[in-house]
Structure 1
Amino acid sequence: MKAKKIKIKRKRKQTNKQKKYELHTHTKYSDCSNIEPINILKKAKQKGLNGIAITDHNTIKGALQLKKLNEKSTENGFEIIIGEEISTDKGEIICLGLKKEIKPGKLFDVIHEIKKQKGIIGIPHPYGKGIVRKSLMLKLNKTEKEKLMKDIDYIETNNGRSTKTENKKAKKLCLLYRLTEVGGSDAHFINEIGNIITIIPANETLNTAIKKKKTYVLETNKSSWVLKIKSGILKLKKKMIKRN
């Protein structure tokens, strides 16, 4: 009898023919974060990233500030993506490649505004659960889900603050609708940057790689529950200050 050949699945190795991106990061302009934009730039470069998307809640102030800082840098080739994590009546949605800030509103109205700017549309933490919020896929009915999936460019299949179960469900959703997968640390504190990265071919732009589904996700670390609690406390403190 001939011995059967056993196929061994090997982990993908990073090479200089690839580019690494952090696609979900917050700055001090989000209530849940205290990161100064200048520190994000330093940390991202220390981590060997090729680019980073700033996705603050309902604002692009941090992203614009970081872009200006990057333009003054003597190091060339690092990319700042102007993004925004936008609140809608159904949950949060992420867009990348914005030119102007988009205000919170009804889900499909927000998507319409993103398309007008030719932005990339993604679903962050599709099944994530917070103390006072539920993510997008937990609040949509079947008809709304089917309509949404026609507008989406990518699913965040690995979020640094979601549980393994939540991320597995996100991966299944991505496969079901044959969408592009990306990962993001959802960094609220400086040491979370680069925990989850999205890797693309070196000869592609981020936009084309997402459109062509030429991405894969690498997890190097996960955020602890301590950091999640800290960001929750920080958010409450900032809201109290605003009220006063």
Structure 2
Amino acid sequence: MFALDLHTHTRFFHGFHCRPTPYDPVGARLLGLVARRRGLDGLAFTNHDYYAPQSAGPVSHVPGIEVTTTRGHVLVVGPDPPTFTRPERLEPEAVVEMAHDRDCAAIIAHPYRNSTVREVDADFDAIEVNGKHPRTQSWVERLAGEYDLPLVGGSDAHYPFEVGRAFTRVDADELTPESVVDAIRGGDVEPVVGDFVTDRLVRKLYRQIHQQKEHLQRPAWLDTGGESDQPTPGVGSAPDED
């Protein structure tokens, strides 16, 4: 059994879209150091619309990319992700097909944040429980049940201290990109949400940011009966965070 954060970014600043920068190796090393401290075995570097091989230092590295499709973000992880994609040019279906052609897994990222990828009828391999707003986890679990897809966890870390606030337990005999893809497709994965003090504090911050930007969407079933009294993630405080 291995613990992997399947959604991380090697830099915290924007600009230089779709291409690596000299900072990326530094960011990758810092992510790896924090990952080891938090007991993780590996990371997937999933930068926005580009992939460049990097060393994760003391932990293993799984290649990946976060593709900005026409309807939201899709994670592509595995042995041979594309090195470059043009933001908002590819339909999610095309990204899934490309991922499978490259022996990679295609994962719906943060399905209820600034995305309608969850509504696409495509052969996805998994759905992500995102570490920035895990209060949507029950929504994501229901979505995964409807689609009969496994769940994975990823921190969506842009800063090293965010690594591991959500991660994936992978049941495999060895830790390779190929074995991770096989485990995802076989459902031999389990999402875990971290509960460090820093995790809770950062979640409060992101909750406010996403509320202000109106990036979080409610599932339709909340407004048509069935748990309609549940609060929208990003609004208010969780019971253990007051």
Q: Which residue of 2 aligns with 1:44?
A: 35
Residues 30 and 92 (structure 1 numbering): CA distance in 2 closer, same or farther, change over 3 Å?
A: farther
Unaligned runs of 5+ in 2: 16-22, 211-242
Matched AA of 2:183: A
Aligned runs of 1:65-84 on 2, under 5 Å?
Answer: 65-66=54-55, 70=57, 78-84=59-65
1:30 CA drift (Å): 6.1
Aligned runs of 1:1-244 on 2, under 5 Å?
Answer: 18-28=1-11, 31=14, 36-61=27-52, 64-66=53-55, 70=57, 78-97=59-78, 98-104=80-86, 105-107=89-91, 108-128=93-113, 134-137=114-117, 140=119, 145=120, 147-148=121-122, 151-156=123-128, 158-162=129-133, 164=135, 166-203=136-173, 205-221=179-195, 222=199, 223-226=202-205
Matched AA of 2:156: D
1:227 CA drift (Å): 5.7
Residues 227 and 190 (structure 1 numbering): CA distance in 2 closer, same or farther, change over 3 Å?
A: farther
1:189 CA drift (Å): 1.2
In 2, the alpha carbon distance for the partners of 1:109 and 1:206 equals 22
CA contact (8 A) 1:160 1:186 kept: yes
Fraction of identical pairs, as percent: 25
Q: Deviations over 1:84-126 (max 9, x none)?
A: 1111111111100134314132212333322221211000110
In 1, the alpha carbon distance for the partners of 2:194 and 2:98 equals 34
Name the SS for the 2:10 alignment partner.
Answer: coil
Corresponding pairs, count? 189
In 2, the alpha carbon distance for the partners of 1:82 and 1:216 equals 20
Residues 172 and 228 (structure 1 numbering): CA distance in 2 closer, same or farther, change over 3 Å?
A: closer
TM-score normalized by the length of structure 1:
0.68
Q: Deviations over 1:6-26 (max 9, x none)?
A: xxxxxxxxxxxx211111101
CA contact (8 A) 2:31 2:160 kept: yes
In 2, the alpha carbon distance for the partners of 1:202 and 1:153 equals 17
Larger Rg: 1
CA contact (8 A) 1:182 1:216 kept: yes
In 1, the alpha carbon distance for the partners of 2:159 and 2:111 equals 21
CA contact (8 A) 1:185 1:192 kept: yes
Residues 50 and 163 (structure 1 numbering): CA distance in 2 closer, same or farther, change over 3 Å?
A: closer
TM-score normalized by the length of structure 2:
0.69
Name the SS for the 1:66 alignment partner.
Answer: coil
